[in-house]
Chain A
Amino acid sequence: MEPKLSPDLLLTGYRNLVLVRTLDSRMLSLQRQGRIGFYVPSTGEEACQVGSAMALEKRDWVFPAYREPGAAIWRGFPIETLIAQAYGNAADPQRGRQMPNHFGASDIHYVTTSSPVGTQITQAVGAAWAAKIRHEDVVSLTFFGDGATSEGDFHAGMNFAGVFKASTIFFCKNNQWAISVPVAKQTAAKTIAEKARAYGMDGVRVDGNDLLAVYAVTKAAVDKARGGGGPTLIEALTYRMGPHSSSDDPTRYRSKDEVEAWARRDPIDRMRKYLELKGLWSKDREDALRAELDDLIQNTIKEVERQPPPAIETLFSDVTAELSPQIREQMEAYLASGERRRPEMLDKFPL
């Protein structure tokens, strides 16, 4: 299955894979050094994030989980904002309110991430349903994990999408694990894709470590939805190469052999080989790209790290559109108390 993509697009796709990987390893080491509090890596899952995002248009909406920075970046989320969000400092448009990896931006229709697993799934259906009510040609795509398919929101979202023929792409990143629980203990079904049938929609399985296959399958689902064909469940088979988060130790529950077997199916290696075969890539270009991205991220971190914490007043704003009298009173009492706590970012977070 070789989709027709211009050499330019192929190269940009590859660049994004490497960008996500580079960012991941830098951010995880910042966490290890105590410069940010927490991090969720997505190493090994880059092709799922980028390939699916490539199939969407600007006007479409994404309802992500916490492990898809590649989709946000593809849609134009600035690296500096992503890093600032992890620092939770004044340069973060979310004002340091959320843990690292929980970002979003309205201008790119990438809904701000929350921790509770699976809640985004029904919301994605609502957005697609809204587009249908307004007769607008917009699809929604929601990312979620294999673990999330056990939550009630998965059932409700799939069911609503089937009933209302909502143009939603359910993109399940089956990375084989939900923290320490393997997918075989998550469901007794042989595949996640087959669950689609019970909701009256198509379900497809795709090699999630193959950028082009992910793109092709998502594009087909998007085209079908735009043509009025309704929702699709995509199960992308991939692997969470790293820990669940900076607080997790995967050696407690999975074997080295398993990890090594998946390492041989690395999505970046595979895309690079494809580009080399096409004559679009070389060792020199690879070295140059790696150096460029290292610099880019290094410099961006330096810039972002200089920013102060968010202003104390930002703790109290945005709860509702207007500051309630109670919150105003609480804020004024706090500011008048003279107490000023400088946030320290060094504590380790245990999950």
Chain B
Amino acid sequence: MPAMTMVQAINNALREEMRRDDRVIVLGEDVGRNGGVFRCTEGLLDEFPDRVFDTPLAEGGIIGTAIGMALYGLRPVPEIQFMDFIYPAFDQIVSEAAKMRYRSGGQFTVPMTIRTPFGGGIRGGHYHSQSSEAYFCHTPGLKVVVPSTPKEAKGLLTASIRDPDPVMFLEPKKLYRSSREEVPEGEVLVPIGEAAVRRPGKDVSLIAYGYMAQVCLEAAAKAAEKGVEAEVIDLRTLVPLDEPKILASVKKTGRAVVVYEAPRTGGFGGEISAILAEKAIEYLRGPIVRVTGFDTPFPYTLEDVYMPNGDRVLAAIDKVMAF
């Protein structure tokens, strides 16, 4: 089994799905000849010259035409070069892709997977770092998936491409090349809608996704040195959310720390907190604590100040352990 980075695993998933299903189309800026600016689509144009397209520089065009392809019966996998540049396509995503099935009574559907790198940690400043998943989680009709390991990136992307509905597939670019993992050749499927327990623990639940799931694992390892057993839940899918797994964990530990990189106000972790407050308050021994980005644009030089880190998660663990 080859050891792959997340970039290679994504590439592998795309290649295998394109081999398996000739309806799968890849389109976007620089995805052809250049193989994508992060190289996720490297070599695909050579193997599938009729199904990989370098498009003009227009996100609205990329997503709008991908929706048209999906309506027609193809399985487009458009790439938006950075999530920060998705907004010219916002209308197509939230008004069109998300609502097509509902507004047509199921007659028209959009089986499309929008791949886009998101999140900070690479010195990208305002426009190559943002985590704007909350906008999309707030839009009924979209699924929102965030992998955090190479193997699961392959499994989740494969499941997304086969899904009958539009999926926002958000790739944490900080994890693109940060580690390697054995990724089997051939079919790997991780179902959409299932969270994973990354580390079991009885004292406190750490709930996160993407790069922050890793940050939580680091914090959990440090907490263990102090005798605190933290359980780490990696959501993997934000919409639809695996509530049973989150609730089971918090009912067991009685404490919850929710971690996300996006600005604090209106972030998706606020939704997790609300669900816990509504459905598990009688199990909670202390407040639900959030560790998040600040309510500022994403900075350049002071990136390390902005990004949530293991120490901050550890401080939050200390805070809830006091109860």
Number of A interface residues in the complex (CB < 8 A): 56
Chain B residues whose C-beta falls within 8 Å of the C-beta of A118 in the assembled complex: 57
Task: Identify which of A19-27, A158-166, A219-227, A323-331 touches chain B.
Answer: A323-331
Chain B residues whose C-beta falls within 8 Å of the C-beta of A252 in the assembled complex: 33-35
Report the bound CA distance from A339 to B304 in whole Å: 11
- B-contacting residues of A (Cβ < 8 Å)? 37-38, 88-89, 96-99, 102, 114-118, 147-148, 150-153, 178-181, 185-187, 247-248, 252-253, 309-310, 312, 314-316, 319, 324, 326-327, 330-331, 334, 337, 339, 341-345, 347-351
Task: Let me know if B302 and A314 touch, CB within 8 A.
Answer: yes
Task: Let me know if A316 and B296 touch, CB within 8 A.
Answer: yes
Task: Let me know if B30 and A326 touch, CB within 8 A.
Answer: no
Q: Which partner residue on chain B sits nearest A38 by CB separation?
A: B123
Chain A residues whose C-beta falls within 8 Å of the C-beta of B127 in the assembled complex: 99, 114-116
The minimal Cβ–Cβ distance linking B99 to chain A, given in whole angstroms, is 20
Task: Let me know if B85 and A150 touch, CB within 8 A.
Answer: no
Partner of A99, one of B88, B128, B173, B296: B128
Q: Which partner residue on chain A sits nearest B89 by CB separation?
A: A152
Chain B residues whose C-beta falls within 8 Å of the C-beta of A337 in the assembled complex: 312, 315
Report the bound CA distance from A179 to B31 in whole Å: 11
Q: Which partner residue on chain A sits nearest B265 by CB separation?
A: A326
Q: How many A-B residue pairs have CB under 8 A?
A: 150
The minimal Cβ–Cβ distance linking B148 to chain A, given in whole angstroms, is 19
Q: Which partner residue on chain B sits nearest A310 by CB separation?
A: B301
Task: Let me know if A179 and B34 touch, CB within 8 A.
Answer: yes
Q: Which partner residue on chain B sits nearest A343 by CB separation?
A: B301
The minimal Cβ–Cβ distance linking B265 to chain A, given in whole angstroms, is 6
B264 located at the interface, meaning its Cβ lies under 8 Å from any Cβ of chain A in the complex: yes
Task: Let me know if B33 and A180 touch, CB within 8 A.
Answer: yes
Known: A309-B301, A319-B297, A330-B264. A181 touches B30 (CB 8 A): yes
Task: Let me know if A351 and B29 touch, CB within 8 A.
Answer: no
The minimal Cβ–Cβ distance linking A151 to chain B, given in whole angstroms, is 5
Which residues of B in the span 18-56 have a Cβ within 8 Å of any Cβ on A?
Answer: 29-30, 32-35, 37-38, 54, 56
Most central of B38, B123, B265, B295 by chain A CB within 10 Å: B123
Task: Let me know if A89 and B301 touch, CB within 8 A.
Answer: yes
Partner of A97, one of B38, B61, B297: B297
Partner of B56, one of A150, A316, A348, A351: A150
Of the A-B pairs whose beta carbons lie under 8 Å apart in the complex, a sample of 21, sorted by A's number, is A96-B299, A96-B302, A98-B300, A115-B85, A115-B126, A115-B128, A148-B57, A179-B34, A180-B54, A185-B54, A186-B56, A312-B305, A316-B296, A327-B295, A330-B264, A337-B315, A343-B303, A343-B304, A344-B304, A350-B37, A350-B173
